[in-house]
Amino acid sequence: MSLYGEWLAATIGNGDTSSDEVDLGRDYDFLEVIIPTITTGTLKCQTAEKTGGDYLDLGNTANTTASGTHNYHDVWELGGWQFIKIVASAAQGGERLIRVRGMRF
């Protein structure tokens, strides 16, 4: 049986490179991501063991996406993490609302 979490916002602010911490509510195997237009750079996921913890890049390089001028839907391997941030490799030229939710199979 598949289990899906609630859709949550991982917003990267104007001029910023990272969203605030997102608590998915429990650990998940995968992260479903809806990505808006991003002006430059790539996006990736960082994870931490606990809220307010030290965030590190999620090791799977398949969990990145390049800039584009369209909305994009993707699924990234999360590997059992609960606390995440979405990080851009370059500051964004406007607020970027990225929607995320956890998935378990």
58-75 tens-digit pLDDT: 976 666 777 776 788 999
Are the C-beta atoms of 23 and 55 separated by less than 8 Å? no
20-41 tens-digit pLDDT: 999 999 999 999 999 998 878 8
pLDDT score of 61: 60
Other Cβ atoms closer than 10 A to 100: 24
Give the residue extent of every domain in the chain. Answer: 3-104
In the predicted model, is pLDDT for residue 1 greater than 80?
Answer: no
pLDDT score of 16: 96
Provide CATH code, domain 3-104: 2.60.120.260
Residue from 2, 67, 13 nearest 35 by CA: 67
Are the C-beta atoms of 32 and 22 separated by less than 8 Å? no
